[in-house]
Chain A
Amino acid sequence: AQKVTQAQTEISVVEKEDVTLDCVYETRDTTYYLFWYKQPPSGELVFLIRRNSFDEQNEISGRYSWNFQKSTSSFNFTITASQVVDSAVYFCALDTGFQKLVFGTGTRLLVSP
């Protein structure tokens, strides 16, 4: 069975702090994709990143970085120097090739000025 766990329900930080959102996944498939989406208060899910199971290189995009470790089945997301606009719910998701995304329960990030 496929499962995504985001143990952090809610995180509060002050602007300019770094914050890491955890994501742990379970699958028996050897080929799969991992995703992060951002859902701001407006409701739309914004695609942030896709990583396939054969690419364990970490990725950095501006203030965002992702750490993929197959050994621990984790795909963590770090925001550096957080800003108020980063306040949102962040979802980690897994796709094992059956056309479906399995979502975690989401982590609500609140960045205060």
Chain B
Amino acid sequence: GAVVSQHPSRVICKSGTSVKIECRSLDFQATTMFWYRQFPKQSLMLMATSNEGSKATYEQGVEKDKFLINHASLTLSTLTVTSAHPEDSSFYICSARSSGGNIQYFGAGTRLSVL
């Protein structure tokens, strides 16, 4: 199957700082990438959908100024959590899908802890 790499796997930061998470498709071109948030023992909540070269589409209730998404190339999307606060602590996971395909391949996730 297709491989999606997500980095870092774990990050601890101080309140008020910004954190960038990278999501890369390693062996295919991802025209669409998705960012999810998962709380402990819960399902995945879609935060936003990003298409290469265009602005991300955010789900209702997700602050676009807080969660900046950039999909500058067909193999890379980034999520930046700006001015992070303890309530932003969570597991963030990305997925990627190729053009014409509808299988989402997921990264290994990033566990963010904001102190």
Name the residue of chain A whose CB is nearest to the CB of B106. A45
Contact between A105 and B102 (Cβ–Cβ < 8 Å)? no
- Cβ of A68 under 8 Å from chain B: no
Interface residues of B in 12-57 (CB under 8 A from A): 32, 34, 41-44, 46, 49
A101 to B107: give the CA distance in the assembly, Å.
15
A43 with B44, Cβ < 8 A, contacts A33-B102, A99-B32, A99-B49 known? no
Tell yes or no: B108 within 8 A of A by CB. Answer: yes
Q: Mark B76-115, 1 if CB is under 8 A from A, else 0.
A: 0000000000000001010101000011111111010000
With both chains docked as a complex, state the minimum distance between the C-beta of A53 and any C-beta of chain B, in angstroms: 12
Q: Is A55 an interface residue (CB 8 A)?
A: no
B44 contacts A44, CB within 8 Å?
Answer: no
Q: Give the contact-size bracket for chain A.
A: 20 to 34
A-B contacts at CB below 8 angstroms, number: 48
Q: What are the interface flags for A29-56 relative to B under an 8 Å C-beta threshold, 1 for contact and 0 otherwise?
A: 0000101010000111111001000000
Most buried by B among A100, A104, A108: A100
Q: Is the CB of B43 within 8 A of A103?
A: yes
Q: B61 in the interface, Cβ–Cβ < 8 Å? A: no
A95 interface hit (Cβ, 8 Å):
yes
State whether B46 touches A44 (Cβ < 8 A): no
Q: Count the B residues whose beta carbon is within 8 Å of the partner chain — how many? A: 22
Nearest residue, chain B, Cβ from A95: B102
Q: Which among B1, B34, B41, B44 has the greatest number of chain A C-beta atoms within 10 A? A: B44
Report the nearest A residue to B2, measured CB to CB. Answer: A47
Give residues 73-113 of A contacting B (CB, 8 Å): 91, 95, 97, 99-101, 103-106, 108
**B46–A101 CB distance below 8 A:** yes
Which A residues are in CB contact (< 8 Å) with B104? 47, 101
Contacts of A43 in B (CB 8 A): 91, 93, 108-109, 111
B residues with CB within 8 A of A: 1, 32, 34, 41-44, 46, 49, 91, 93, 95, 97, 102-109, 111
Task: Give me the 6 closest cross-chain CB pairs, A-B, nearest first.
Answer: A45-B106, A43-B109, A44-B108, A103-B43, A105-B43, A103-B44
